[in-house]
Structure 1
Amino acid sequence: MKLAAINVPISTVWTSPDAPRDIDAPATAAQPDVAGWAKSMDTETRLGLHGRTLTQLLFAEPVLVRSERDGWSEITAPWQPSSQDELGYPGWIPSSHLGELPESASDPIAIAVPTASLLAEPGGQALAELSFGTVLASMEHADGYTRVATPDGGSGWLADAVLRSAAEPSGAEERLRLGELFLGLEYLWGGTSAHGLDCSGLIHTVGRVLGLRTPRDAHDQADTLENIPIEEAQPGDLYFFARDGKPVHHVGFVSEAGMLHASETGKRLENEPLTDERRATLVAAARF
């Protein structure tokens, strides 16, 4: 087993090397086009991701490589806690998406806008377009920009205006503000990026920007976070949903309107009152 880091903006994690379909080629390419891939899929095609995709990894995110086969690597993602594996979320990614861990640095910062350009120098050429939730180690500051460590011994610059310190305190308003950046974004099974989110992916990725290592899946979030009585839930807390005798299958942020959430495939991220069906399956609440 070895440590590595994601060296592309977004790497989608698959159940096996055989899981991707022909239409998924943009996501598995050596230089993936996740934005183009997401735009290419209609609802039926997105439904076909169930049982194929698991989660997504963001630029410079560390992974443990367990094995390699035919250009694919079996990995676990320690930044995405999971009951499936004590070392992190498991799955498969193209080996071309892996590089060496960034050089040691300090003061982790997160991209807190939907997308941001990683620059070769302050105000200079764009090297990559990075997603919300990407966490990087800062190296120095100059004239409104921060230099960050990147995989394979490199570095780049990000405008301070797109960044948030992981150590900065946050409250309910900040959680909801960050979630609302994606109102109208189409649901993507396994999504943790600005190009598509699922219900627990929204919670996990917002948590990452706030410096929190939140479990990846809704049932693990319900089991791990501080549970509170449902009637005591306040905006910024979490609602969890399950059917009789089944594990938690859905999560959303409590909001003034009702719930801010990524609903399901075929729908978009929305802030709406709880429907009767949702109320009938509301089983728990937690403090985020």
Structure 2
Amino acid sequence: MELQPGREAVVRVAVATLWTSPEAVRPVDRPALTAGVDIPAWVSGLNTDQQVGDCVLSQLLLGERVLVSELRPDGWARVVAVEQPAAKLDPRGYPGWLPADQLTAVDPATRTDTDHPLVVDATVTGLHAEPSGPVVLPGVVVGTRLTPAGPARDGWRPVHVPGRAAPLWLLDSHLVPAPAASPAAEQALAVAQRLLDVVYIWGGLSAHGIDCSGLVHLAWRRFGVLLPRDADDQAMATTPLALGAERPGDLYFFARPGRKIHHIGIVTALPGDDGQRRMLHACYRRRRVIEEPLPADRTATLVGAHRV
């Protein structure tokens, strides 16, 4: 099947980047634009200013569903990322642009919402042509959902991959069954802690580079909980707590007076007797994921604690 406006498609690369427009991309973004996308090479080529350029909106993982709304002759597709809620932008999901060759069409008559009973639990892994064979799809990240293509064999599992006729293989130990119930907050925190020191990328949503709300979205997505993509929407989708009642795995939200929420972190410790608080977050200033006590300027802009 070919891509068609008004039809669903799925991502066929390990990580696809969602752009504000085709015209917004820069020469440095070339490794993120091809069908053989190389996100680590893209991230390593960005300087500190380019890491926070506002041309990137979000990222999508292998197998993630989109609704195609427009196809351009130059190879770009306008899509809605239906698995990334963004109510203020589009009630259907997060809108933006992708290179069309990073997508493959799906037949809605054959798709079900139970097609992905396996989830990648390795922080980063690769899909192989055969057990112990060459890697043909590197850079697949935690939280990616896959469909088994048969039983495990000698520690390897075959999986169906969008856009490929033959199954690919990955280590069975890198997969877990899709959870049947929502996680405990500490479980999501443990996933986020594995991303310590990952580079801060505005709009990033992977173990190669990530932003503050992307870290929260990905940690819960690993367990099948699809939180909104942006921090202010995440606040609306979670339950407020009285400050002092937060526990590890809860969320801190930050906003300047009279402004909307601009930052989010994950609580990592009970508040101290002196009121000191700690969080894990993708830090814009430090350009990486860190765990730290809230500095004075963060405490001054803390507007609430919430629970998923």
TM-score by length of 1: 0.93
Shift in Å, 1:25: 1.2
Compare the two structures and name the one with the higher helix fraction. 1
Does 1:239 find its partner at 2:252? Answer: yes
Does 1:208 find its partner at 2:202? Answer: no
Residue 156 (structure 1) aligned to one of 136, 150, 168: 168
Shift in Å, 1:164: 2.6
Equivalences for residues 62-141 of structure 1 within 5 A = 62-69=65-72, 70-83=74-87, 84-101=89-106, 106-129=115-138, 130-141=140-151
Consecutive unaligned residues in structure 1, runs of 5 or more: none
Distance 1:101 1:230, change over 3 A: farther
Shift in Å, 1:35: 0.5
- 1:1-22 deviation per Cα after TM superposition (whole angstroms, max 9, x unaligned): 1111111111111101100011
Residue 295 (structure 2) aligned to one of 233, 252, 275: 275
Give the residue type in structure 1 aligned to 2:56.
Answer: T
Task: Report if aligned partners of 1:109, 1:135 keep a CA contact under 8 Å in 2.
Answer: yes
Shift in Å, 1:160: 2.1
Shift in Å, 1:76: 0.3
Match of 1:194 in 2: 207
Match of 1:284 in 2: 304
Q: Secondary structure of the residue that 1:182 maps to in structure 2?
A: coil
Shift in Å, 1:152: 2.7
* Larger displacement relative to structure 2 (248-257 or 62-71): 248-257
Task: Report if aligned partners of 1:65, 1:73 keep a CA contact under 8 Å in 2.
Answer: yes
Distance (Å, rounded) in 2 between the aligned partners of 1:238 and 1:141 = 39
Root-mean-square deviation over aligned CA pairs:
1.8
Distance (Å, rounded) in 2 between the aligned partners of 1:172 and 1:225 = 12
TM-score by length of 2: 0.87
Residue 220 (structure 1) aligned to one of 227, 230, 233: 233
Distance (Å, rounded) in 2 between the aligned partners of 1:165 and 1:217 = 27
Distance 1:107 1:5, change over 3 A: closer
Distance (Å, rounded) in 1 between the aligned partners of 2:169 and 2:180 = 20
Consecutive unaligned residues in structure 2, runs of 5 or more: 1-5, 270-276
Distance (Å, rounded) in 2 between the aligned partners of 1:158 and 1:226 = 38
Distance (Å, rounded) in 2 between the aligned partners of 1:267 and 1:153 = 36
Distance (Å, rounded) in 1 between the aligned partners of 2:252 and 2:198 = 20
Does 1:61 find its partner at 2:73? Answer: no
Distance (Å, rounded) in 2 between the aligned partners of 1:146 and 1:213 = 26
Give the residue type in structure 1 aligned to 2:169.
Answer: W
Distance (Å, rounded) in 2 between the aligned partners of 1:23 and 1:86 = 32
Distance (Å, rounded) in 1 between the aligned partners of 2:190 and 2:263 = 20
Distance (Å, rounded) in 2 between the aligned partners of 1:184 and 1:23 = 22
Number of residue pairs aligned between Structure 1 and Structure 2: 286
Distance (Å, rounded) in 1 between the aligned partners of 2:178 and 2:305 = 25
Give the residue type in structure 2 aligned to 1:119.
Answer: H
* Larger displacement relative to structure 2 (73-82 or 110-119): 110-119
Distance (Å, rounded) in 1 between the aligned partners of 2:216 and 2:242 = 19
* Larger displacement relative to structure 2 (87-96 or 118-127): 118-127
* Larger displacement relative to structure 2 (175-184 or 129-138): 129-138
Match of 1:34 in 2: 39
